């Protein structure tokens, strides 16, 4: 498990006011107690799922059902019938079925404390801000939004509402990734100076993920973000500059206004480099970090389950966990106790600065210096 680490940037009120990156948040997951005593936890945190698509239904609902500190108390959906069916099946009142246009009315439901935004990327800002204005804490899926400007608006809304805004970066709760973070923080292999890998899959048919209007971009927004986030964890720093190249499209009919595949290189202040890749036309799910004294490699690296990792000393084996349950329980405990929240919005904004830099470099062919 990770060493305890505290940072002023992790205080709840503190992070809301900040726009810089809180890398120590990576460690926050494991420093949170898994359980609260009965006196400290009078009741479970009421959570609302906003968007009832694949990820909500297949991964987040079971995670909430397994959690110790959360209870599903409502949904936001475009289909009232579907919402009512969820209310009956999961035992919350039908009045807690809201439409997207109706989210302000969540203010009338004090039992709903936390909203999980799981809609297409270009709607994250609108739906997160609506939930924050209704007085709810928000956990937002990746990418945080589709521009840094939107991230800033979301963080301003969180500050104005005095509510937490956090990211669904589930891998912070995966034991293999925690081991990578632990090694990076302890300097076990020396500082990681050479990182490589990527995340891509072959998209078979056109879905919203390949439309700029809803996705904000192509595979970089969807899966490439995992690889760049991981490189920052391994480097324990934010990149200072990058260069990026878009690959020629094999299926331009499918990827009309978004990239099909991208390579990029991130540079860190200590000289470390990360050569990364994302694609909707190739399968890759790998991350490697190398230092002077050793290395760690994860493959598959970013999946919900079935991760594998090895180091120069041999394979690593950890028990299977449901990352999302651990994440949501840690968030619930932090919200109840008023302690630093895991995976704060600052990380989502930092990643969006990098994503905008990658698109700029791919477009202009120039090296881009990153400003946070
Ligand atoms: P999905 O298409 O299965 O679900 C999207 C939901 O949004 C649907 O219920 C849809 O009805 C709703 N929606 C609301 N307004 C919409 C509109 N105008 N157009 C289209 N749909 C609309 O997608 P998903 O796979 O569940 O992904 C949702 C979000 O979750 C995305 O931001 C994605 O990046 C993220 N996600 C994260 C992970 C993870 O591992 N952290 C995994 C999958 C998806």
Each residue's pLDDT tens digit, 121-142: 999 999 999 999 999 999 999 9
Same domain, 159 and 255: no
190 Cβ closer than 6 Å to some ligand 1 atom: no
Q: What CATH number should be reported for the domain holding residue 132?
A: 3.40.50.720
Which ligand 1 atom is at minimum distance from the Cα of 214? 19
Is it the case that residue 175 has pLDDT exceeding 90? Answer: yes
Residue 11 covered by a domain: no
Same domain, 233 and 296: yes
Q: What is the mean pLDDT of the chain?
A: 91
Tell me how far the alpha carbon of residue 123 lies from the centroid of ligand 1, in angstroms: 9
Range of the domain at 226: 175-319+353-369
Same domain, 69 and 138: yes
Tell me how far the alpha carbon of residue 219 lies from the centroid of ligand 1, in angstroms: 14
Question: Taking residues 190-209, what's their average pLDDT?
Answer: 97
213 Cβ closer than 6 Å to some ligand 1 atom: no
Residue 26 covered by a domain: no
Tell me how far the alpha carbon of residue 125 lies from the centroid of ligand 1, in angstroms: 13
Residue 2 covered by a domain: no
Tokens matching residue 265: 């290189």
170 Cβ closer than 6 Å to some ligand 1 atom: yes
pLDDT tens, position by position, 319-332: 999 999 999 999 99
Nearest CA to ligand 1 atom 1: 53
The half-sphere exposure of 68 on its side-chain side, counting CA atoms within 13 A, is: 14
Q: How many folded domains does the chain comprise? A: 2
Same domain, 104 and 137: yes
Residues of the chain above pLDDT 70, percent: 89
Same domain, 208 and 246: yes
Long-range contacts of 338-341 (CB under 8 A, 24+ apart): 338/12, 339/12, 339/32, 340/6, 340/7, 340/10, 340/11, 340/12, 340/15, 340/25, 340/28, 341/10, 341/12, 341/15, 341/28, 341/164, 341/166
Residue 24 covered by a domain: no
pLDDT band, residue 87 (cuts 50/70/90):
very high
Same domain, 48 and 141: yes
Tell me how far the alpha carbon of residue 306 lies from the centroid of ligand 1, in angstroms: 23
Same domain, 68 and 154: yes
Question: Do the bridges between strand 114-117 and strand 97-98 make them parallel or antiparallel, or are there none, so unpaired?
Answer: unpaired
Same domain, 250 and 210: yes
Residue 8 covered by a domain: no
Same domain, 47 and 159: yes
Is it the case that residue 277 has pLDDT exceeding 90? Answer: yes
118 Cβ closer than 6 Å to some ligand 1 atom: yes
Same domain, 221 and 357: yes
* Nearest residue to 231 (alpha-carbon basis) of 201, 262, 265, 259: 265
51 Cβ closer than 6 Å to some ligand 1 atom: yes
Same domain, 294 and 217: yes
Same domain, 315 and 330: no
Which ligand 1 atom is at minimum distance from the Cα of 55? 26
Question: Taking residues 65-73, what's their average pLDDT?
Answer: 98
Tell me how far the alpha carbon of residue 367 lies from the centroid of ligand 1, in angstroms: 33
Residue 348 covered by a domain: no
Q: What CATH number should be reported for the domain holding residue 207?
A: 3.30.360.10
Tell me how far the alpha carbon of residue 57 lies from the centroid of ligand 1, in angstroms: 10
Amino acid 257: pLDDT: 97
Q: Which helix (H) or strand (E) holds 245?
A: strand 241-246
Amino acid 13: pLDDT: 32
């Amino acid at each position: 498990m990770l060493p305890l680490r505290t940072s002023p940037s992790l205080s709840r009120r503190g992070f809301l006011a900040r726009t810089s990156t809180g890398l120590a948040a990576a460690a926050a997951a494991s420093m949170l107690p898994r359980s609260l005593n009965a006196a400290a936890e009078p009741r479970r945190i009421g959570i609302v799922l906003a968007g009832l698509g694949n990820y909500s239904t297949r991964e987040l609902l079971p995670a909430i059902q397994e959690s110790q500190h959360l209870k599903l108390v409502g949904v936001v959906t475009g289909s009232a019938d579907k919402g009512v069916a969820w209310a009956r099946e999961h035992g919350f009142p039908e009045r807690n079925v809201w439409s997207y246009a109706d989210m302000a009315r969540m203010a009338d439901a004090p039992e709903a404390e936390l909203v999980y935004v799981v809609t297409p990327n270009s709607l994250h800002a609108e739906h997160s801000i609506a939930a924050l204005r209704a007085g709810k804490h928000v956990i937002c899926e990746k990418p945080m939004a589709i521009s840094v400007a939107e991230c800033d608006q979301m963080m301003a809304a969180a500050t104005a509402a005095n509510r937490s805004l956090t990211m669904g970066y589930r891998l912070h709760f995966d034991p293999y990734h925690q081991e990578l973070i632990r090694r990076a923080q302890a300097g076990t292999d020396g500082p990681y100076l050479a990182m490589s890998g990527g995340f891509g899959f072959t998209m078979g048919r056109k879905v919203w993920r390949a439309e700029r209007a809803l996705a904000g971009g192509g595979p970089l927004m969807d899966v490439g973000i995992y690889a760049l986030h991981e490189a920052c964890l391994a480097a324990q720093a934010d990149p200072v500059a990058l260069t990026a190249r878009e690959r020629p499209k094999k299926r331009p009919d499918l990827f009309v206004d978004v990239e099909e595949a991208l390579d990029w290189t991130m540079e860190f202040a200590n000289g470390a480099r990360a050569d990364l890749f994302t694609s909707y036309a190739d399968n890759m799910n790998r991350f490697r970090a190398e230092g002077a004294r050793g290395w760690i490699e994860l493959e598959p690296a970013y999946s919900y389950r079935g991760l594998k990792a090895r180091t120069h000393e041999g394979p690593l084996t950890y028990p299977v966990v449901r990352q999302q349950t651990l994440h949501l329980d840690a968030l619930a405990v932090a919200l109840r106790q008023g302690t630093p929240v895991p995976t704060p919005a600052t990380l989502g904004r930092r990643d969006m600065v990098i994503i905008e830099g990658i698109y700029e470099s791919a477009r202009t062919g120039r090296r881009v210096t990153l400003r946070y």
